[in-house]
Chains A and B, each alone.
Chain A
């Protein structure tokens, strides 16, 4: 929960009251089912798997969609699930540096379904698919990265250059180096 500053207030609203003892069991069960269904049939271009022993922390990968400045690039993300998941959203961060109007330089994402529009029927897969489409369709009305929002329409060539300049391959980044 290092990004509590960006996570919505609503999250706190739900999680503050004392929870039932069953809820963490529910999280585990739910995440196990999600993992299972991801492994059985993962849509192309996305993958996710829990870190080591901790089922509440996952690492995921999405491939940049074709016909976008991100085509051919792949991005790692971290998922951290609260005990109240799926009633509250996971904390999702881009671990691979990315140049995008709705993602800041720490990898924090501005996406409504990860905040106030989170619904309990979303899951890892739907979040990854949403993020994938966010890459190709940024919301330039409320950018975290103003320059990127501006360049997206104005100067696609420069935009693409900055995307590539910012991108680092996994070997160079190393997860958790932030």
Chain B
């Protein structure tokens, strides 16, 4: 019956047509999944088109973890909503929750001004405020883990999840309609803004499009001082996944420095959530001691020959002290955590990992403050690159022979704490404007190089 000469009858064709038009992709799985290693994505594409294979192979080293969203036609909205809450949680500052609630409430006027009736949207808004408060109370009780679990559970509750998405959709629609000049040029020719919103933004079932995403980034993400980063995994040319960023600006219009970032992975028709290693660090004891870490750093700034034959001169370079570029610096930067933009110097804000994690690879002196990322994703090894960096292929920069550099550097250090927020692998890079880690070693190039190229993106 399945020979090449077989031709289906009209009824069969009609049946197949019916099956095909009724087909819906599988929409099982949690609305928002557990965080998992992003090497799963690489595995998923291992047998796929070479373009995907190349692009996904590079993924786990930059984005250590990811989280799936159910592909039910809401995933883009949900991914942004969830990561927005998660970013607040990561900051760990209860005031930020209150600020956000106040800010969102104040946008009731925006909703009313374009004719949404309060009694029609208040339930959705309340659901959002409830979750903000619930998370806030857990955070202020110091129970971040429970807060994270609560967040995940809430977003897996269809009622809560959809209410929050609906609320954000309405905010988005209101924003577009009150800023027509920003968005009209991006609509289809002749499309009316109001009509666009009622057919592409407000419907209960409509996936976010680029215009909607820009507007949501404006109204929700950027105003909260967060950045939104979307990685487009498609078959376009190139070896890297294309990245698009929405960056927040401060009140005076300057870009915010190293904002907390919501990261999404876009595959045609679907959004998932991505994390960099530093996003994953559990927020811990709030006031990770800034000065302790600095003192620590200064103490270590002593030339110290190692068994690997590193020359003294090498240790003059910031970051090249024996404890290892990749191991010690990350701990410093984690301690400093990228603080939320409005008060960049507040130490109490987001702190990553101040729990010293004993690591097997520590053969160096000062282990007390080493914080190695808790889990290394497959394909991302922290140690090998450092070893190599200290080895032969290193190309010295002019600064390493510069006398007095070290002392200058040590003195100015306490006043440059913001540098630590840039990159935990390449902090030294900022003290040496011409320092180019990419050129150090072909083997280490991958991990360090990519990090430094995306330093602005790494928080």
Residues of A in contact with B (beta carbons under 8 Å apart): 8-10, 13-14, 17-20, 22-23, 26, 29-30, 33-34, 37, 84, 86-89, 112, 116-121, 123
Residue on A nearest B30 in the bound complex, by CB: A17
CA distance A33 to B118 in the complex (A): 11
Q: Out of A13, A34, A88, name the residue touching B72 (CB < 8 Å).
A: A13
CB of B31 closer than 8 Å to a CB of A: yes
Q: Which of B3-22 contact A (CB under 8 A)?
A: 22
CA distance A10 to B206 in the complex (A): 9
Once A37-B119, A87-B166, A121-B121 are accepted as A-B contacts, the answer to whether A20 and B205 lie under 8 Å apart by CB is: no
Contacts of B157 in A (CB 8 A): 19-20
Binds A, one of B82-90, B195-203, B342-350, B442-450: B195-203
Q: Check A17–B121 contact: CB distance below 8 A.
A: no
Contacts of B324 in A (CB 8 A): none
Q: Check A14–B159 contact: CB distance below 8 A.
A: no
Number of A-B pairs, beta carbon distance below 8 Å: 74
Q: Out of A29, A33, A87, A112, name the residue touching B204 (CB < 8 Å).
A: A87
CA distance A89 to B204 in the complex (A): 9
Once A18-B158, A20-B160 are accepted as A-B contacts, the answer to whether A116 and B203 lie under 8 Å apart by CB is: yes
Q: Out of A23, A30, A34, A117, name the residue touching B199 (CB < 8 Å).
A: A117
CB of B365 closer than 8 Å to a CB of A: no
Task: Give, as a whole number of angstroms, the nearest-CB distance from B74 to chain A.
Answer: 8
Residue on B nearest A24 in the bound complex, by CB: B159
Q: Could you list 28 A-B pairs, sorted by A, with CB under 8 Å?
A: A9-B22, A9-B24, A10-B204, A10-B205, A13-B24, A13-B27, A13-B72, A13-B73, A13-B205, A14-B162, A17-B31, A20-B157, A20-B158, A22-B159, A23-B158, A23-B159, A26-B163, A37-B117, A84-B158, A87-B162, A87-B166, A87-B204, A116-B205, A116-B206, A118-B203, A119-B202, A120-B120, A121-B121
Task: Give, as a whole number of angstroms, the nearest-CB distance from B121 to chain A.
Answer: 6
Once A10-B73, A22-B159, A29-B123 are accepted as A-B contacts, the answer to whether A121 and B117 lie under 8 Å apart by CB is: yes
CA distance A18 to B162 in the complex (A): 12
Most A C-beta atoms less than 10 A away, residue of B24, B119, B199: B119
Residue on B nearest A30 in the bound complex, by CB: B123
Q: Check B159–A119 contact: CB distance below 8 A.
A: no
Task: Give, as a whole number of angstroms, the nearest-CB distance from B15 to chain A.
Answer: 16
